[in-house]
Each structure stands twice: as C-alpha cells, then as structure tokens.
Copies of this chain bind each other. A is one copy, B any other.
Amino acid sequence: MVNIAVMGYGTVGSGVVEVVRTNGARINQRIGDELNIKYVLDLKEFPGDPVQDKIVHDFETIIDDDDIKIVVEVMGGIEPAYTFVKRCLQAGKSVATSNKALVAKHGAELLSIAKDQGINFLFEASVGGGIPIIRPLNSSLTADEIEEITGILNGTTNYMMTKMFYEGADYDEVLKEAQANGFAERNPEADVEGYDACRKIAILSSLISGQQVDFEDIYCEGITKITAEDMKYAKAMGTTIKLLASSKRRGNRLHAIVAPCMLYPGHPLYNVNGVFNAIFVHGNVLGDAMFYGSGAGKLPTASAVVADVVDAAKHLNRNIMTMWKQDKLKLEDKADAKRRFFIRMKGDAQEMLADLRDSFGDIEIVHADGLDGEFGFITPVMMEGDYDTRAGIYKDEILHMIRIQE
C-alpha cells in the first residue's frame, strides 16, 4: 500500500480526493500497488464528509508518520506551504503540488533537496492545470533546444478577452460578468494584472533554461487597459488580442514577457477561446507544437496532481525531474526585444503619415469602423527600446500600444 497525505482540503484538495475515489482501481493498476489517502490536513473539521476520519490539524502527524511516502500540497501561498514541503522532502517524502507561487519562488531549492534525497518534487498542476506541460518538457522534448514557449496561461483573462473580442463588450462589463459566473475572483488583480500568468511563465522559463527565473524580473502588463476600441482595430487587422506569457531564447539570453498581444489566425494560439489554456512550444528540431486543455478547475487540476502522485509512487526512490540551478538567469533587457507594434493615435492619419514614417519607418495605417478622430498603425519590426524612444515624441497623441506576436 502507498500511503499519502493531502495538505489542504479546499477546491483542489477535495478534487484530489474525488479523483482517487472515482478512478482508484485504474490508478492502483498503473501504480502496481494500492493508493491510500491516510491523512487530510486542514484547519477545519468536515463532519459528514467522506474524509472526516482522515482529517488532521497538525502537520507533525504527517511528518512523523513513516508510512507516508508521498505528500500532496494544495494549500496554496508561500507559507506555511514552503516550510511544510521542505520538511517533507528533507524527511524523504516526495511532494506533488499545484502551488505556482511556491514553485516559482522556491522551485530550485526544493528540486535540489528532492534530488539529494533520491525522491521527487513534482508540480505538473502548477502550470496549465490539467494540461501536461511540465512532464513533456522534462521527458518528451528532450531531443530539442526549446527556443520559445508562449502560453495562454490564465483562463480568467482568456475568457474576458474572448468575450470582448466576440461580443464587442467593455472591459468593466466583462469583468463583472466573469465575477458573477465565478470565472473571476472578487479581487481579480492576480489574474487581470497578469501576475498569475507571470508566475507560470517564470516556472516554464526556469525549466527550459535550467536556471532560476524570478517572476519579479519579468515585465508584466495585464489586460486592464484593453478596450472595446482596441478589439475593433484587432478585428480590422484580422487579429485577436490575447494575454500571452512568453519566453524566447536567443543564444544564452532569454526574453520573457507577459502582455496582451495581437495574434494572427495562422498562430496555433489564435483559436484558444474561453477559459481554456494552451501552451505553444517551438523546438529547434521539433518545430511547432501546442498543448491545449483546461488550465484550471477542480478536477482537471486534481487530475494533474494525482498523475504526479502516480509518478511519485512509481519512482519512490528515484529522482526523475530535471533540476534548475538556484543562480538567477539574467533576462534579456526588454528594450532589446524585437517585434512589431500596433499603435492607436489621436489625429488624422493622412496629415501625420509622413511624420510617422520619418519616426517609425514603413508603417501601415489601420482604420476601425466608427472610431473618429483617431487611427491605428503597425510599425515594422523594431527593438522595444527604439519604439519607446520614438513613442516619447508622440506621448500626447498615443492612445494605446499593443504588441504583435508573430
């Protein structure tokens, strides 16, 4: 029998219990042994709940029990999760977690402890919910240099962008609706400001570079300034706008950014709509690939956590995860990244055209129906630093800038 403990009995924790109950027979077959949830750690009691007899309130019960070989951490947040997980690993217990904040901040250290102990620290559910991405990067795409990972990593904002694009709705209106439907939290900051996506791309960046990438170092711009007018231009250009979290390698340098971007229909992420997440990967020999699925939700996330438990159970005394080093990777300066930019500007396109061409080069003018006294234009590929300099000249005229993803 493989005994495990689940720390945290919230949405994901109760999902983990449900997945083990629903698919237990198949899971046991895959492990080759019987999986048993021995403890569920939570501050609350759950009278009448199937796990009521397994509830413990003291972490020491778990750490002291040598029967427990695998611990699921689904409490979220940094503390006490970090202390608990570290102590579990130091005590020789493998850990499976869905906690992106924990992995983004302490992943390198926790992976290193697990390696020293010959056990595993697994976190498939921390990025992309149920979508397998961590394990494919770790064990499938091993013949490649991964040159780019770009993801729609936050379902809330993708739901909002999709609504704004297809229904022409306002940001505030869509946010209220998302909150009413339970797709956005009362305090939506972590989603709409891009912080959630930023932690996830930090984890993916660390994995592909083999070095710690701090999310605080990644330029992060949310969707709060995207308007119904922006979407009109996007449509006129045949594009859509998505919140993308992206990491691109150029030689030894990595350019990571979270920002709303315009995407053309040829891009595999163009059609990823609603609360779905997807992760685009470009490998130097694989070419383009994409992984798509439910990026959040109780059961999809629990599915990924339990798959990690299965893997941990099959490798009880064998470390299987690639590590990344604790020394920080120096990211490429945002000013050095090259791309095209879409700019909305006050004024008259014909009057300003010659002047703008002088500044930005061979720009392309875009008009959107029903928007008077303004116009849009697309710059050629240029460095973001050069864009910034030129945009400074027109700071009173520029209404909005949105990056273009090729």
Contact = CB atoms under 8 A, between A and B. Distances in A.
Contacts of A305: 143
A300 B283 CA distance: 9
A150 to B, nearest CB: 13
Nearest to A298: B285
Interface string A299-322: 110111111011100000000001
A136 interface: yes
Nearest to A270: B271
Given A286-B130, A303-B283, A142 B27 contact: yes
Contact of A284 (B23, B271, B286, B292): B23
A140 interface: yes
A289 interface: yes
A23 B292 contact: no
A337 to B, nearest CB: 24
A30 interface: yes
A232 to B, nearest CB: 22
Contacts of A144: 23, 303, 307
Contacts of A303: 141, 143-144, 283, 285-286
B286 A23 contact: no
Most buried by B among A30, A271, A285, A309: A285
A379 B306 CA distance: 41
B132 A284 contact: no
Interface string A309-344: 111000000000010000000000000000000000
B302 A293 contact: no
B284 A288 contact: no
Interface in A373-401: none
A259 B232 CA distance: 39
Interface string A22-42: 110011001000000000000
A76 interface: no
A285 B297 CA distance: 10
B293 A292 contact: no
A94 to B, nearest CB: 15
Given A30-B322, A290-B293, A291-B291, A285 B140 contact: no
Interface string A116-157: 000000001000001110011001111111000000000000
Contacts of A300: 285-287
A294 interface: yes
A286 B285 CA distance: 29
A188 interface: no
A168 interface: no
Given A30-B322, A287-B299, A268 B292 contact: yes
Contacts of A140: 124, 132, 135-136, 304, 307
B22 A285 contact: yes
A294 B285 contact: no
A19 interface: yes
Given A135-B140, A288-B293, A290-B291, 19 more contacts: A22-B284, A27-B142, A130-B287, A132-B136, A135-B135, A135-B136, A136-B136, A139-B311, A140-B304, A141-B307, A142-B307, A143-B302, A143-B310, A286-B294, A286-B299, A287-B294, A287-B297, A287-B299, A289-B294
5 contacts: A23-B284, A131-B289, A143-B309, A285-B302, A285-B306
Which 7 interchain pairs have the tightest Cβ spacing?
A143-B306, A289-B293, A132-B140, A290-B292, A142-B310, A286-B303, A285-B303
